Amino acid sequence: MIGLSSSYFAFRGKGVFDSVKAVFDLGFDTVELGAAHRFEGNAWETVKGIKKEFPDKNYTVHSLFPPPRERYWFNPSLGLTKQNKQNIDNLFRAAEIVEAEVVGIHPGFLNELGWGFDRRKGFDTLVAKQALDPEQCWANFNDLVGYAMALSGNLGIGFAVENIHGIEARPLVNSIEEFQRVFKAFPEMKLLFDFGHALFEGSAESIISNFSSRIGEVHMHWSLPLSKKHDRDDHSAITSQKQLEIFKKVKQLKSIPVIFEHGTNVNEGQVLAEKKIVEAFLKGL
């Protein structure tokens, strides 16, 4: 299930339906309904229309979908606020309509959050604001995940938490021990393994060594490690099978969604080239 986030085309000005269509027009069989879209008043009709138009494709849903009227960063560390509960309900409602494989969220942040934009990679970015109390964040996060896991079980749709780096704001769940804490509390929860985030933070080997069997979805992109000369995750394209060697340890890779995530810094030709690389890699497993 090799796919592309609909956010890739949202960054290029396309609406939800046209973004999904553009992903499938590139030859992908999977799309992630992503978080970068602008508000659309008829979003639910659009989601139903997507499933009707593309009934045999595969789907995942990520972070903040459908796009809200007032944009905000979804922060699970705030718990089941009215806004957060509505977002979880929306994620699973969309997932149920399209029969998605996985709903994925970020792990929460230990800060209140604001907006920024990185013109180099064409992504919205986090701006960390006031610090939050860590223990209260954990309690809030557990409340939200417990609610989401109940929906996951009732609907038979996977629910996954993503690994992220802390260059913009401090993640609530970041270390191996913190992920172990989450998975001990919620044994059915999956890991949304973001390869580029892990490369940037230098944690790819340790995450896969500890949690390879937990991985229920992959966000695929390339990044150099954080250094004085390289201070951001560029969400670059995969350019060789050699870069993918670590995934030989993920035995279920052929049966889970592998979603490319890029901004405006990666063109369609590069996306199609990495698609061929990943396809060849999977074929060789």
The single-letter code of the amino acid at 82 is K
**Cα(100)–Cα(62) distance, integer angstroms:** 10
Residue 174 burial (CB < 10 Å; 0-12/13-18/19+)?
middle
Question: What phi and psi values does residue 9 have, to the nearest 5 degrees?
Answer: -85, -25
- Closest CA relative to residue 249, chosen from 222, 274, 202, 215: 215
Q: State residue 119's pLDDT score.
A: 55
The pair of structure tokens assigned to 231 is 């201070």
The pLDDT tens digits along the chain (285 residues) read 999 999 999 999 999 999 999 999 999 999 999 999 999 999 999 999 999 999 999 999 999 999 999 888 899 999 999 999 999 999 999 999 999 999 999 999 998 877 665 555 555 666 777 889 999 999 999 999 999 999 999 999 999 999 998 777 789 999 999 999 999 999 999 999 999 999 999 999 999 999 999 999 999 999 988 777 776 778 899 999 999 999 999 999 999 999 999 999 999 999 999 999 999 999 999
Please name the residues in contact with 22: beta carbons below 8 A apart, sequence gap of 6 or more.
9, 14
The CATH number given to 2-284 is 3.20.20.150
Give me the DSSP letters along 131-144.
E--HHHHHHHHHHH
Give the residue carrying structure tokens 């459908």.
66
